[in-house]
Structure formats: structure tokens, C-alpha cells
Amino acid sequence: MRVCDGGRRQEKHVRIAGRTRGRLSVAQESDVVRRRTILVARVHPATGFRAIPALYDVALIASTGERWILTGHERIQSGPLAHEYAVAQTWILEPAVVQDLIDVEFKWTQAVGRVNELERQLERLAGSKPQP
């Protein structure tokens, strides 16, 4: 969940409505703008969720186990000449809800069962064909 938009803090209900889901990656990257290596956080969105800009010069400012708070800056292009600006940003990260994980595991188990059933049907079909 992004706390700010365009450098301005968003109201809580707006932040909640704009949440996204995905996989977090944090890695050092060579930055040609700063001419040094910096830590960059990216959220790789899950299917159906929107992408959000990367967070540069990222720092972990709080962690409770239930929630992580990262801060840094986004790079946005604005104006008629599309100048790049660094805008302060904070992310609030929460792990997937346990029920979501249970649902995914259940769907995976169903898919594996269906694959096994299809394999058995193929074996029966292969066994019933006349041999040349």
C-alpha cells in the first residue's frame, strides 16, 4: 500500500482502495542518476493487480512481523519536457492473509487431482486402442 501520491500523504481510505498485491523484491542496483549503487524495492504485481513505481534508496523503518514499513523515493516524469523528479514515498507491506494461502493450496490440490485423473483417462484410452 502506497502512503503518498505525488509526494502528498493520502487519506487512509484512499490508500486502502489503492492497495496492490504481488511479490516484493529488494536488491542493489547500479544507478546512473546517482552514480552509485542503491537499494531498490519493486513489487511484481499478481495477475489482475496494478503495477506501482519502484522505490529507490529504500530503507526499512519499521517491522512488527505483521507489517513492514519501507521508505524511499519514486521517480516520476512530469511537465511538458517530461523531467524526472524524485518524490518521497512510503510503503506499508503486509503478508498474504493465511486464508488466502489456504485457498491457493486447496486450488493447487484440486488441479493436481484433475491432472492425475486426466492421466488415468489417457492410459485407459491408450490401452483400449487396437495394436497394429
Q: Are 29 and 41 in contact (CB under 8 A)?
A: no
Task: Record the cell numbers describing residue 16, joined without a space.
Answer: 486502502
**Predicted local confidence at residue 42, as pLDDT:** 94
Tell me the pLDDT tens digit for each residue of 76-112: 877 778 787 888 888 988 887 766 777 778 888 899 9
| pLDDT classification of 119: cutoffs 50, 70, 90 | very high
Nearest to 57 by CA among 75, 43, 44: 75
Question: Average pLDDT, stretch 111-123?
Answer: 92
Whole-number percent of the chain with pLDDT over 90: 30
pLDDT of residue 103: 75
Whole-angstrom CA distances from 124 to 104, 110, 114, 116, 119 are 30, 21, 15, 13, 9
Report whether 90 contacts 5 (CB < 8 A): no
pLDDT of residue 132: 58
Residue 28 has a pLDDT of 94
Instruction: Report strand pairing: 4-5 vs 8-9.
Output: antiparallel
Decide if pLDDT at 131 tops 70: no
pTM score over 0.95: no
| Domain boundaries defined on the chain | 4-95, 97-132
Spatial distance between the Cα atoms of 18 and 79, rounded to a whole number of angstroms: 24
Query: Any idea which residue has 517530461 for its cell?
Result: 82
What are residue 31's DSSP bridge partners? 36
Determine contact, residues 94/67, Cβ cutoff 8 Å: yes
**Interatomic CA distance for residues 88 and 72, integer angstroms:** 6
